[in-house]
Amino acid sequence: MNKITLILVLLLLILNLQSQDSIPKTIVSELPKVEEKKAHWSDKITIRGYTQVRNNRLFESNSDLVSEQGDKSIGNKQGFFIRRMRIIFFGQLSDNVYFYIQPDFASSASSTSLHFAQLRDAYFDVSLDKKREFRFRIGQSKVPYGFENLQSSQNRLPFDRNDAFNSAVSNERDLGVFFMYCPKKVRELYSSFVNDGLKGSGDYGIFSFGLYNGQVANKPELNNNSHIVSRLTYPVKLGNQIIEPGIQAYSGMWVMPKDQITSTTKVVKSYEYLDQRYAASLVLYPKPFGIQAEYTIGKGPEYDAGKDSILTKDLKGGYVTLSYIIKIKKHIIIPFVRGSTYQGGKKHELDARSYRVDEIEGGIEYQPFKNFEFTAAYLYSDRTTSDRTKENNYQFGSLLRLQAQLNF
């Protein structure tokens, strides 16, 4: 009896197991197949941007004090002014190809025509390895010369870039090809500077080397010679602090455009002038105290009032910016002060206008929300400029500068 019972139990177990195996197969075979959604190229594109609105007329002591290369809303008959309105399109299209396009919708076509769209950046990065440590940048991009030049105006504390470095490349950009190398761990560190609000310059590699036209962005090339540029930098952690020293240099032949020369000003027959600079940078990222300092020397075209000529002359200048980050809950307050100096020509201006500049600017940036910043700064400026139309034009003045910035 026990044997018969045991056999019956075993038969029931076998039948039960067979029925369990058959049920899932039947159910699975009857389920509809779900097709995987293929990623569309548009899913890889991100859009961001920022807008800056300014006023520079409060407590103004000299309405004849102007800044041609910088903020054109400084000086007489000015008021509220949209300094920048940028929309940026970017994305990693594939493992090895990245693109970046940035137009500005607040460019000035002339002194009477404002808010025109103009291309700022249009480039793509082609990586040579899976980690994207080695890459070529092709197109219109910032020239890797000077930390403050590379630093986005969205992140910079002072209202305008200093004269010494910004006179190297107008709007900081040109059309060319640049090789960049940056180890993965350093790229991640550069990215954290932006996320942590440390006012970084972006990722232009710890080593870069390139060729570019030399007549600046959105301008036609005027000779058969390219400018050459190279930069070497490296961020180093020292306890809680991060320090980044760097060196850079560029060289080429600048062609004075004929529409930038007064009819009686003497120039060399070829209109070509040596355009060559060297510079050193030192940045202590604000954690919470920060220092940003750079100095440049070199040669370039400059108007000589005594000879009524544009000559190749020595130039020099630099700046030091001090800052301190204060965080109160979600509010961020950054007091800052910058002193700057420059002696040399500005090749982008009429007759390669001669400059002697000494400035001090101090202010506070306040971020009550992630998408909004308000900055107030007081500027003391001592400027002497010379070109054929106005020689030894000395202007000294001070003014309160206000800016509201939207980030999106």
Within a domain: 5: no
Range(s) of the domain holding residue 111:
62-407
pLDDT of residue 70: 83
The amino acid sitting at 117 is A
Rounded to an integer, what distance in angstroms lies between the CA atom of residue 262 and that of residue 265? 5
Return the structure tokens found at 306: 């005594």
CB 278 within 8 A of CB 312: no
Within a domain: 77: yes
CB 283 within 8 A of CB 330: no
Domain at 101, CATH number: 2.40.160.10
Nearest to 89 by CA among 63, 119, 68: 119
- For the segment 373-403, what is each residue's pLDDT rounded down to a tens digit? 999 999 999 999 999 999 999 999 999 999 9
- For the segment 57-103, what is each residue's pLDDT rounded down to a tens digit? 999 999 999 988 888 899 998 999 999 999 999 999 999 999 999 99
Work out the pLDDT band at 28, boundaries 50, 70, 90.
very low
Work out the pLDDT band at 312, boundaries 50, 70, 90.
very high
Q: What is the DSSP string of 96-138?
A: SEEEEEEEEEEE-SBTTB--EEEEEEEEEEEESSTT--EEEEE
E strand spans, 172-308: 173-181, 207-212, 227-233, 236-238, 241-255, 272-284, 289-304
- For the segment 217-269, what is each residue's pLDDT rounded down to a tens digit? 999 999 999 999 999 999 999 888 999 999 999 999 999 999 999 999 999 99
Mean pLDDT across the chain, nearest whole number?
91
Work out the pLDDT band at 40, boundaries 50, 70, 90.
confident
Question: Among 20-24, 36-40, 187-191, 272-276, which range has the highest average pLDDT?
Answer: 272-276
Global pTM?
0.88
First to last CA, the chain: 84
Number of domains in the chain: 1
* pLDDT beyond 60 at 104: yes
Counting other chains too, the contacts that 121-124 makes at CB distance below 8 Å and 24 or more residues apart are 121/88, 121/173, 123/99, 124/97, 124/98, 124/99, 124/100
Nearest to 106 by CA among 76, 85, 133: 85
Within a domain: 45: no
Within a domain: 179: yes
Within a domain: 274: yes
Q: Helix, strand, coil % (nearest 5) of the chain?
A: 15, 50, 35
How much of the chain exceeds pLDDT 90, in percent?
82
- For the segment 155-194, what is each residue's pLDDT rounded down to a tens digit? 999 999 999 999 999 999 999 999 999 999 999 999 888 8
CA–chain centroid gap for 394, Å, is 31
Within a domain: 276: yes
Work out the pLDDT band at 26, boundaries 50, 70, 90.
very low
* pLDDT beyond 70 at 15: no
CB 340 within 8 A of CB 296: no
Rounded to an integer, what distance in angstroms lies between the CA atom of residue 158 and that of residue 236? 25
CB 73 within 8 A of CB 51: no
* pLDDT beyond 50 at 27: no
Within a domain: 52: no
- For the segment 335-361, what is each residue's pLDDT rounded down to a tens digit? 999 999 999 999 999 999 999 999 999
CB 353 within 8 A of CB 303: yes
CB 208 within 8 A of CB 178: yes
Within a domain: 201: yes
